[in-house]
A and B are shown apart, each in its own frame.
Chain A
Amino acid sequence: MVNNIIEISNLTKRYGLFTAVDKLNLSLLPGEIFGLLGPNGAGKSTTILMLMGLTEPSEGSIRVDGIDPVRNPVDVKKIVGYLPEDVGFYDNLSGLENLVYTAGLNGMSKTMAIDNAVQMLGRVGLSDEMHKKTGKYSRGMRQRLGIADVLIKKPKIIILDEPTLGIDPAGIREFLNLIVKLSREEGITVLFSSHHLHQVQQVCDRVGIFVKGKLLAAGNLDYLAKQLFSSHAYIVEARIALPEDKGKSSAVETQSHTVIERLSQVEGVAKAAFQDDLYIIECTGDITPVIAKTIVDTGFGLTYLNVKKYGLDDIYYRYFEGGYEHDQHRLSNS
């Protein structure tokens, strides 16, 4: 049994009548990369603030490596590096000076701070710009400096709040690779909040979907997919060459009718439909070969076949849809 490094139980935060975080239960294993995924205003940042002891929870308890951030925020901050959303630096100081200052706040002596800062700047690829004022840094450089700033205290856990906001795609990839590399090399636990599912999908071991202050589901992608799409997790798309006399809609109709009828008889097919020249076949398992054979057997020419596995995209939208519907429901009830 591995001890959880972050343990959140029944965490609630209210602002007046508004509940920002509602009975959240979450635990993180040491060394994993956890993605907290949710739309804006879902309570991700509030949860992070409570983890850091920057705001007090209304109810519930938090343990970060066994420490309660409400009682001992300073001890928590010793082992947790936090990169806030839209991080700022002292623009009149250089990147190196900014890092040396942070190192000093962590109790390092001047020489040690400079050594560490230079080393960290090298790791995030800012060695050439370390004497430049941070006011002249680009967005991506600031974010990388932010990572260096977080790492300089040699944390056990790093928490990144919307770290990829406002960086170009190439920068994002570089940034995410850096995080994964650091986490794997040093065994740092990473909690990563974002509303960009693709980025979360790329790097996270586990994902928590967070909507309206509630954690709707948490787990790895396969688990989430299974939980959501237990009946038909696979979709096969197929296109069939249209009949010769395509001007006549009746010919197309007959063709599609035949194909759908045949497909529906195949074991494992939950639903088959014809939409915009495409056959969309929802299946319980990966039965693409069987479907291909069935279509070929009908005598029509198969021109295109594609298996669609559910990505986080669909999971994300499915959940948000659910959340939204749930909300509408609540509204109509009240």
Chain B
Amino acid sequence: MNMINIGYQIRNFLFSSRERGFRPSRPFRVMVEKEVADHIRSWRFIILVILIFLTCAGSLYTALSSIQKVTEKATADDPFFFLRLFTVSDGTLPPFFVFISFLGPLLGISMGFDAVNSEYNRGTLSRVLAQPIPRDYIINAKFVAALTVIGIMVFALSFLVMGAGLLAIGIPPTVEEFMRIIVFTLFSVIYIAFWLNLSVFFSIRFKQPATSALSGIAIWLFFVVFYPLIVNIITRAFEPSEYAHPRAIFLFEKFKFALVQVMPNELYNEVVSTLLTPTVRSLGPLSMEQLQGAIPGPVPLGQSLMIIWPQVTGLIAITAICFVLSYLSFMRREIRSR
């Protein structure tokens, strides 16, 4: 009797809470569903998918064709043989992870650059805002939908590369390798989410989709091409001589390292190379004392994660900052009909 009562109460609780929780989230789910459908049906997304699949197939092909040569040189029982699928290249095409770091921003920017301004230009924004939904649902739904699509796509690619590699080389990945690949894919999604948020922010700031797309690409180019150049110019001015005090050289290296940490693409590259190359033990400069007594060899995943923790935090932080910026500028905006 008592048991039945408890069971009834639990069921009642679950049911009512589901009902309670379901109602207000229904408009949000409807919005996300619509956005996802829009993305998948759009030509832009189809073209991007084709582009990315082709480049990944290419990089996988070069990896497979060169993996033999690489492994011949390496020790026979390389514990992270499978990870090389993602990092090895014969020089004609860059490896998989470089492709992701290159095409990821393009994907993020192109999924978000017209998120809000196209709604405004079509005159649908004021109509949607007249519905009983909180205003932030609009950008939240856009972000969640684009992220869902990107996440599914990146994970699918990663698994495809794994599956194709498995078929081609016939050696299954170890649990450690599998986990590393999953974490790598997860951080790739976060990295793309940063570019997505940046372009959503531009889509709120600029009324013309072309302007917002161009701003996103400009920022990306700045970090890929010009910022390293600027860092080079700055650091050259401070470069200590070969015979300077070791401490001065160490500080200089630290300074150089710190300057580079502003770049989202550099953060991502550090994260990914640490994850996919387990022998990486440090990202910044190390002194001789720190290296003394170290046994060269791979570190476990947990330790790799410890190494890249600052970089991961940085990536998530800049993503959050972009989101907050778009949130602020959108929530305070007066939405007129076009």
Contact = CB atoms under 8 A, between A and B. Distances in A.
A105 B126 contact: no
Interface string A94-111: 000000011011110100
A52 B134 CA distance: 13
Interface stretch (A78-86, A116-124, A229-237, A245-253): A78-86
A159 to B, nearest CB: 9
Contacts of B11: none
Interface residues of A, number: 34
B132 A84 contact: no
Interface in B92-134: 122-124, 126-134
Interface residues of B, number: 27
Contacts of A125: none
27 contacts: A49-B334, A49-B336, A54-B129, A73-B135, A74-B133, A77-B130, A77-B131, A77-B132, A78-B132, A80-B130, A84-B337, A85-B337, A87-B127, A88-B122, A88-B123, A89-B124, A92-B41, A101-B34, A104-B26, A104-B27, A105-B30, A105-B133, A106-B132, A107-B23, A107-B26, A107-B132, A153-B132
A84 B41 CA distance: 28
Nearest to A97: B34
Interface of B: 23-24, 26-27, 30-31, 34, 38, 41, 122-124, 126-135, 334-338
A81 B132 CA distance: 10
B30 A87 contact: no
Contacts of B41: 92
8 smallest A-B Cβ distances: which pairs?
A88-B123, A104-B30, A84-B337, A82-B130, A105-B131, A55-B334, A77-B132, A84-B126
B324 to A, nearest CB: 21
Nearest to A90: B124
Contacts of A84: 123, 126-127, 130, 337
A125 B192 CA distance: 46
A149 interface: yes
Contact of B131 (A85, A92, A106): A106
A138 to B, nearest CB: 16
A89 B336 CA distance: 15
A308 to B, nearest CB: 38
B337 A149 contact: no
Contacts of A77: 130-133
